[in-house]
Amino acid sequence: MMKNFNHSYSRIKKIIKLEENWLNDSKTIKRAIWRIKAEVGTAAVVVSAPHRTTNLLLQAYHNSLSQARSFDGVLAALKKEQSQVAAALLTAPHLAQLQESWQPIFDDLQQTLQRIFLTATTFPWLKAKILTTGEKLAAHLLAAALQEAGEKAKVFEADEPVLSDGDEAEKELAQLISQPEKFSGRLEKIAEEIDAGDFIPVFAGFFTHSTEGKNTLLGQETSDLKAETLAKALKAQSLKVIKEAKFFSYAAPTNLNF
């Protein structure tokens, strides 16, 4: 199923939301590329991190909080897994570019885990910052795979996470559901850049924008909501959420009154 929107149209006609199964390995990513290439020039993509990536990030988080140095080993395992998938997809030039894009993401993750390890203290936004690493890595990997396939692509990601769960996150989420235009309006500059460009926009699916204009982490299970907000901001005609890579099944996300 697809969700349709009633507003004037831009270059982007459709938001494609790829669920976790689409980014598990090189085989499913290649199928995702085939699906996206069928709508080149008219589609933007929102990604979710594979479950095992999220699980490794959670393990690293809990290890650092318990002051176990083993979070270094988990981080090494994450890097190895990501590199293996990338190596199966990309030639040397695109692989080198991807590794360059990934490096500051891994550096930031290392610093955040080290901070928690040294202080034995955490906050909801720190946990969310760690978990959103998965979406960032996935977005850059997909963009690199698109470039390998001969398509231009650009990644857009959150850079100022402020919260993830608890009362404040519930408040932000309630505002997003009731007044999505306040959030999508914060994306106007990005929308203008995309509309004027000739690249495929790839979004990390973990964040949204608050009414104060901050990039806000709402926690897991909200990337479908992010996709709907983007559909509004980019004036897309429709949103397609692709749940299962194996069966190409479709489902409509949470209903919003746009």
- The confidence band for 166, taking pLDDT boundaries of 50, 70 and 90, is very low
Whole-model pTM? 0.80
User: Residue 257 falls within a domain, yes or no?
Assistant: no
Helix (H, G, I), strand (E, B) or coil at 100: helix
| Beta bridge partners of residue 216, listed in sequence order | 208
Distance in angstroms (rounded) separating the CA atoms of residues 112 and 122: 10
Q: What is the rounded average pLDDT of the residues 42-51?
A: 88
Averaged pLDDT for residues 161-183 = 53
CATH number at residue 214: 3.40.1160.10
pLDDT digits (tens, 9 = 90+) for 1-13: 444 444 445 788 8
Tell me how far the alpha carbon of residue 25 is from its chain's centroid.
Answer: 16
Q: From 49, 47, 46, 48, select the one nearest 231 (Cα to Cα).
A: 46
67: in domain? yes
Domain-embedded: residue 256: no
Pair type for strands 215-217 and 207-209: antiparallel
Q: Quote the domain boundaries for residue 18.
A: 2-251
Q: Give the three-class secondary structure for 165.
A: coil
Q: What is the pLDDT of residue 190?
A: 78
Task: Let me know if residue 141 belongs to a domain.
Answer: yes
**Based on the structure, what is the number of domains in the chain?**
1
